[in-house]
Structure 1
Amino acid sequence: MGEHNIRNFTINFGPQHPAAHGVLRLVLELDGEVVERVDPHIGLLHRGTEKLIEYKTYIQANPYFDRLDYVAPMNQEHAYCLAVEKLLGIEVPRRAQLIRVLFSEIGRLLSHLLNVTTQAMDVGALTPPLWGFEEREKLMIFYERISGSRMHANYFRPGGVNMDIQPELIDDIEAFCDPFLKVLDDLDTLVMGSRIFKQRNVDIGTITLDDCWKWGFSGVIVRSCGVAWDLRKSQPYECYEEMEFDIPVGLNGDNYDRQVIRMEEMRQSVRIMRQCLDKLRAPDGQGPVNTLDGKIAPPSRKDMKRSMEALIHHFKLYTEGFHVPAGEVYAAVEAPKGEFGVYLVSDGTNKPYRCHVRAPGFAHLQGMDFMCRGHMLADVAGVLGSLDIVFGEVDR
């Protein structure tokens, strides 16, 4: 027999693949069934968000952040509002801070529930996503009751939040917590304890801590390597300093560790939510939910019905917007996917001069190549799922 030239073959994974998390196209170079190279092609969901923000006032730019990581929208608004507030030099009322933290943690539950259960689906289990979506539905109803919208909430405002939380909603969120923890225990037993789930995730997509720092990873991926790096503890913002919660960390930096951490983070989020609810009911948790600076916050409806000046003030605020002092600032929050940051440059007008979004998923997607090398083709979907990538924030 003569000599045969064996060459690798190249295939497309996505952008129509059900496991491609939206519109991802991966060009895979395979040697048989072993992955040699992964080349992510992004930009299929590019909408020019950062440029659009430059043409909008600071209030009008807010809804764009809901459309980045659309699985947990309020966490993105949070980073933007913190950046604007830093430039304005204003203090957010305590009640507004508690409401913000409460809904940021609900966003974390929304994101982790989707990720853990769809990860199970990617490796062959069909029922966990149905249980996950049942719980997400209840949480999205809380979103709807506070903001009027299930996904694109546009609820946070520079200086506070749009409206106060009702006592009935506080009671309903508290009533949600205990049954939810039971569901988490069931998920833990059925998914994390599953032999097949372990075989498909343990020692797959392993990362070292050195790689994390080199590639700019953050969030669950860094914590899976054994480092308790969480912005809520290391650089506390809002009222996270008052909250008691633990940071779960992994040992091996593999797919399985990342999912176990997400499961435990959901329990810690419920813990934070309960503390917020107690503090919202306490006497020192009462008060305004927006800054008292009239140049930034609109007048109340009651005032607008009685006073023509208040009506004019409201009209000016929503047409012209407020002017932000010149300067540049970076504000970051611990979003469910990792460190979500907003770099804001103001030139002293009513519109941002430049707004750069530091999306965690963008950094994480770059790691696909070195994480998948040497693994099987079937593991690509598992590694991608464990990174928890949403294309709204990657392409923006």
Structure 2
Amino acid sequence: MTEQAKQQPKQHPIIKTNYLPRCYATVFLLSICGLKLGESLLELQYLWLFILGVCYPHVTYFLAKHSQNGKRQEHINIHVDAFISGILVSIQPDYYMLSTMGIILCVNALYIGAFRMLVTCIFVYAIALALGMGYLWPFAGFVEASWAVQIMISIFILIYFCTFAILSYYLTRRMIALNKEVQSLSIIDGLTKAYNRHYLDANLTKEIHRSQRLNYPLTVIFADLDHFKQINDTYGHQIGDKVLIEFVNIAATSVREDVDWIARFGGEEFVIVLPNADSDYGASIAERIRQDIDQHLFEFDGQALSVSSSFGVVSIASEGNNASMENIIACADSGLYKAKANGRNCVEVVDFYSTAEQPS
């Protein structure tokens, strides 16, 4: 990353959010001024306002985008909006324009959450009106808005609020997507895309309670890749990481979609949770995964290696169980230990009620 890119300030969302409505408002105000002034718009005292209006939304966007504090700069810009609006409205003031711009300024301040700016924006707007009508072009009274002006005001209000509605819809959809992404990151293992330990700790207990409440069995498989440290030492951690990813992908093809789930317990150890499944079904799933892993040739960057895995399976009965997450994991781990002791690359089923310590 270059030094210039590092120094580039991060753009605040309200900078883009306000840019398009500000362009609409500028076009609207200049069009109204053009209708009211006619050929007088070419006079020097009005021409500079027209030129300023054309450049204004782009200048404010540039200043906010390149400011070290974009949000603060945009708050300043909104007050400048109020001042310029007051000056333009004061050229030939009418009640339609006066009230419309007051409402728009209030909506804009409230939309970005700047509730404290509501009062200051209205104050700046009033000061600009007083300055324009009392000094720049002496006030001769309110004029009656023509039909053309009234129609333009109606069209502007429609477009302006539709723009904010579309922006609100987009931002809401974006917020929902970001919330889902954050939620996913909090429960998904970043490497393997299996569920992480946090999800396992929170949801295995729920699965146990659900099995008790609905009166169905629950099976847990504890899986481990054999000699995984040797794989890391021989081929490197990058290859080891790819083996873990491939293991999860293969295991996922053997479990029931949207019913069973896989979580990374830690390192090369994984827990597979099978709701409404007895030990026979759990053993068959573990054996299927074991065979698939054993028969699969892991190929990465021109290197091929064979991997084996071991499994411990435990099941709690559909009724009368008093299991906890800790002792069911401990029982599954004891089954895995037996599989390791029996030469690895095998499946061991343990009886929960004879293995776990039951409360007296």
TM-score range, shorter chain: under 0.3
Q: Which has the larger radius of gyration?
A: 2
TM-score scaled by structure 2?
0.24
Higher normalized contact order (CA 8 Å, seq sep 6+, divided by chain length): 1
Relative to its length, the structure with more helix (as a share) is 2
